[in-house]
Structure 1
């Protein structure tokens, strides 16, 4: 009887120990999903929309000259506004693990058309005490702390994984499919 009790306690402890979510991994996933949401929002901007940037000077004749015209998707003002709004989308995300391999993921409950995400049957939702409010909190803190780097990343159309570049995703958490 004691052997069964001991075995049961070990199984419960191991299950509990491996079911805990590492905050670093969660921050990495939140960063990646936030950047993906930013990419989708930027891709929805009309490419023909342009913005005047730079110094606004008058020439000797009193005519207005702007220094440069860029795509609206590269405007620092627009990117900053998007960063401020992007974390609101995290309320549609939940923590989950893939049934196939147990890997932690953040899953958007809704697909792009507003219907229930078809991948819901492929994951196990993780119930948490804060009703996933921490996802918005992590997003806000990540975007606040790294706003300049994120703006530069999108403004300059840089390559690579920005979440790794700003130190949120170590090699252990980097996804290959991004």
Structure 2
């Protein structure tokens, strides 16, 4: 039987803590999640959580980032296709880290700043690839459409969205994204 090194054990413990924190922040938000509850869910000790992450805010900052959709490049048809596919993947698998950030941004100013920064960065990248003087506005609407759809499906569980397949939703939303990317009405 192979023994695990101390460094590997530390990394495994940190990974368990991050996974537990991601889940609990996503379910309960920043204010209602405690270091003790994270430690218990990770099968760890609250002291270890503090040793590895120093504070609840630092731990939150590590788990509540909005992951980028990946490189967005190509012509407008390809951009629309990539954005629609990214929405579909967020609808198929609940984006725990993103939802933790979204839930917390309503009560925690630092979380709102992180979400805003991530979204503005992606919005600007997409707008730079789109034609027209109103590209920044259209990219912002695409972001709002995406975030609103994800919130409505996963957090609010609105009728229709909660039960529909990701394909059904993207078939409805895809043409809107395409119109916004190309700038054609």
Q: TM-score, normalised by structure 2?
A: 0.28
User: Which structure has the larger Rg over C-alpha atoms?
Assistant: 1
From the two aligned structures, give the one with the greater helix fraction. 2
